[in-house]
Amino acid sequence: MTDLADRYGTRTSTSRKGLVAVMVILAGVGLSWLAWVMLVHGRPLVQSDLNGFETVDAHTTTAEFTVVRRDDRVRASCLIRAFAADHAIVGELDVAVGPGAPTTQTLERAVRTERQATSVEVVGCVADGQSQRR
């Protein structure tokens, strides 16, 4: 019987070291990318959360929401939508959160509606450098 190493050959230590080096480089690149994603996208410039809403009358509803900005110099714009029972959008309000205000704010705004609203959504906030609403 012939030896398998004679038949198929063996890996040299040089090729094994090269493979390990390539794997280490790929792992380093992958971990660097993951760290970048976590740092850049893990803490957005601005984000918002709906605390509650109240339907005042057939043409007005109020929304209370919290806006958190990374820095007090960030200028943000937050979109609020009111929906009717049939899920149609019956009102929208764009709220500007300017620089100089506290980084965490709880705001209450009245939204004019074309008919009675049954639910309200804070679609999210955007800022320069952050195009996705959060």
Q: Answer whether 95's CB lies under 8 Å from 62's CB.
A: no
Residue 66: count of CB within 10 angstroms of its CB:
14
More confident residue, 120 or 101: 120
Q: Would you list the domain boundaries of the chain?
A: 4-41, 46-127
Contact 76, 69 (CB under 8 A): yes
For the structural domain made of 46-127, what CATH number should be given? 2.60.40
Band of pLDDT at residue 130, cut at 50, 70 and 90: confident
Amino acid identity at 43: R
The closest alpha carbon to 73, from 54, 49, 92, 97, belongs to 97
* φ, ψ of residue 80 in degrees (nearest 5): -115, 135
pTM equals 0.71
Tell me the pLDDT of the chain averaged across its residues: 90
Neighbours of 45 (CB within 10 A): 18
State the Cα–Cα distance between residues 125 and 132, nearest whole angstrom: 8
Q: Residue with structure tokens 């601005």?
A: 46
Band the pLDDT of 1: cuts 50, 70, 90.
low
> What tens digit of pLDDT does each residue of 11-48 get?
667 778 888 899 999 999 999 999 988 887 777 889 99
- Cβ contacts of residue 114 below 8 Å, gap of 6+? 59, 90, 91
